[in-house]
């Protein structure tokens, strides 16, 4: 079984629009849609920052896999909230569909509650596109 889904140009553009409308406009620094092999599918940022997205995606895929395995050991399907809080910047992870992950990097100007709402909204829209 392969983990990567192939996307068309149109799909990628539609996903970019969703992420732009739901998350970039909210003020998040960057969003990465990636697969669990660590591939970057879509990456948008608000300008100003340039993170090393490929390394981030590789580490996020490993981290997500490790945390899911921990969940299974204690009898959970998955943990619904994966969130790392920093002094300035924070990272939020969310599963989109089985093999796709949405990673959001945002600073303290964005509230976690609102972010989670918008991420959920974006995911619902992306699920219709993939």
User: Out of 38, 101, 102, 123, which residue is the one contacting other proteins (CB under 8 A)?
Assistant: 38
Tell me the window of 23-31, 37-45, 100-108, 113-121 that interacts with other proteins (CB under 8 A): 37-45
**Could you tell me the sign of the dihedral formed by the alpha carbons of 25, 30, 36, 38, in that order?**
positive
28/104 Cα distance (integer angstroms): 7
Nearer to other proteins (CB atom), residue 4 or residue 80: 4
CB atoms within 10 A of CB 31: 26
71/79 Cα distance (integer angstroms): 7
Can residue 98 be called a binding residue for other proteins (CB under 8 A)?
no
Q: Count CA within 13 A, CB hemisphere, residue 3.
A: 13
Can residue 105 be called a binding residue for other proteins (CB under 8 A)?
no
User: Out of 55, 80, 111, 127, which residue is the one contacting other proteins (CB under 8 A)?
Assistant: 55
User: Which residues are at the interface with other proteins (CB under 8 A)?
Assistant: 1-4, 6-9, 12-13, 35-41, 52, 54-55, 58-59, 61-62, 65-66, 69
């Amino acid at each position: 079984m392969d983990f990567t889904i192939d996307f068309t140009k149109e799909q990628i553009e539609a996903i970019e629009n969703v992420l732009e409308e739901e998350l970039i406009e909210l003020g998040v620094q960057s969003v990465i849609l990636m697969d669990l092999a660590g591939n970057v599918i879509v990456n948008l940022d608000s300008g100003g920052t340039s993170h090393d997205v490929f390394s981030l995606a590789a580490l996020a895929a490993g981290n997500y896999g490790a945390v899911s395995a921990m969940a299974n050991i204690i009898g959970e399907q998955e943990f619904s909230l994966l969130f790392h809080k920093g002094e300035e910047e924070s990272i939020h992870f969310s599963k989109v569909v089985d093999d796709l992950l949405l990673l959001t990097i945002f600073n303290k100007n964005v509230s976690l509650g609102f972010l989670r709402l918008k991420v959920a909204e974006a995911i619902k829209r992306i699920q219709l596109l993939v």
